[in-house]
């Protein structure tokens, strides 16, 4: 069980995420997956994760412009399973297109965050996200 599951197919963004997580003044555990299908397997305990019966992360950070299974697909499928119906999902995307935002909310996200595009700003943002979703937010616990 990890604190954050980050789904991101851009390796640079994933790398920058890891660097910034390492700089936080506390320990946050995370897993980075690089495709939508992997994320679904992880969350539903299928494929290579079948044997592992993993606990659910406290937060899913999800890029929606994924190649193959899109972020929207991931959200919709996740919401269709009882176990992950109320899993906190925050979109973390470059896109500020109202259409993308609308469809993400329609699919059932909890929040939408546009990537700030700079290192400093991203660091600040991740700190805030961790504070809120890992500390302040109260979840429904499914095991």
Partner 1 sequence: MIPESFDLTNCDREPIHILGHIQSHGYLIAIRPDTYTIVHASDNIVDLVGIPASTLLGQPIDTLLTATDLPASTLVELLNVSRRNETWEILNPHRITVNGTSWNLIMHQYQNLVLLEWEPVGDDRNTLINQQLISQALTEVQTSRTLADLLQNTARRVKTIIGFDRVMVYRFNEDWHGQVVAEEKDEHLESFLGLHYPASDIPRQARELYKVNLVRLIADVNSVPSPILSVPNWSTDKPLDLTHSVLRAVSPVHIQYLKNMGVQASMSISLLYRDKLWGLISCHNSTPHFTDFTARQAAKFVSQLLSSALEFRKDKEDQTNLLQYRQVGQQLHEQLLLSDDVARALTKQSVTALDVTGATGAALVFNNRVYTLGETPDEQAIRALVDWVGTTTTESFLETNQLPNLYAPAEEFRAVGAGLLTIVLSRELNEYLFWFKPELVQQVTWAGNPDKPVTVEDDGIRRLSPRTSFAAWTEIVRNTSERWTEAEISVVVKLREDILQIVTRQANEVRLLNQRLQLAYEELDAFSYTVSHDLRTPLSSIRCYAEILVEEYGQDFTPDAQALFQKVIDSTERMRRLIRHILYYSRMGRTELDTRSIDMKHLLEGIREEILVTEKDRSLRIEIGDTPPIVADSTMALQLFTNLLSNAAKYTQLTYEGIIKVSGRQTDQEVIYSVEDNGIGFDMKQAGKMFDLFKRLENARNFEGSGVGLAIVKRIINRHNGKIWFHSEPNQGTVFHVSFPVTPAD
* Nearest Cα residue to 129 out of 118, 140, 115, 142: 115
Among the residue ranges 33-41, 49-57, 73-81, 91-99, the one whose residues contact partner 1 (CB under 8 A): 91-99
Q: Which is nearer to partner 1, 22 or 143 (CB)?
A: 22
Distance of CA 119 to CAs 19, 31, 116, 129, Å? 10, 20, 8, 15
Q: Which is nearer to partner 1, 1 or 121 (CB)?
A: 121
By the rule CB under 8 A, 127 interacts with partner 1 = no
Among the residue ranges 27-35, 43-51, 104-112, 117-125, the one whose residues contact partner 1 (CB under 8 A): 117-125
Residue 84 CA to residue 136 CA, distance in Å, equals: 20
Q: Are 7 and 62 in contact (CB under 8 A)?
A: yes
Q: Which is nearer to partner 1, 50 or 96 (CB)?
A: 96
* Nearest Cα residue to 43 out of 26, 59, 24: 59
Q: Which is nearer to partner 1, 119 or 142 (CB)?
A: 119
* Smallest separation, CB 14 to partner 1 (Å): 11
E-strand stretches of 3-108: 4-7, 30-33, 59-62, 89-93
Q: Which of 80, 97, 124, 137 binds partner 1 (CB under 8 A)?
A: 97
> Site residues (CB under 8 A) for partner 1?
10, 12-13, 16, 19, 65, 94-98, 115, 117-120, 122
């Amino acid at each position: 069980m990890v604190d954050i599951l980050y789904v991101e197919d851009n390796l640079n963004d994933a790398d920058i995420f890891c660097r910034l997580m390492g700089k936080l003044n506390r320990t946050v555990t995370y897993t980075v997956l690089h495709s939508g299908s992997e994320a679904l397997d992880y969350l539903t305990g299928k494929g290579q994760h079948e044997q592992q019966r993993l606990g659910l992360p406290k937060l899913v950070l999800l890029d929606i412009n994924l190649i193959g299974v899109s972020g929207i697909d991931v959200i919709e499928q996740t919401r269709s399973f009882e176990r992950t119906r109320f899993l906190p999902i925050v979109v973390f995307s470059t896109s500020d297109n109202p259409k993308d935002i609308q469809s993400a909310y329609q699919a059932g996200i909890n929040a939408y965050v546009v990537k700030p595009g700079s290192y400093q700003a991203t660091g600040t943002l991740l700190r805030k996200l961790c504070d809120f979703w890992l500390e302040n937010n109260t979840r429904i616990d499914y095991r």
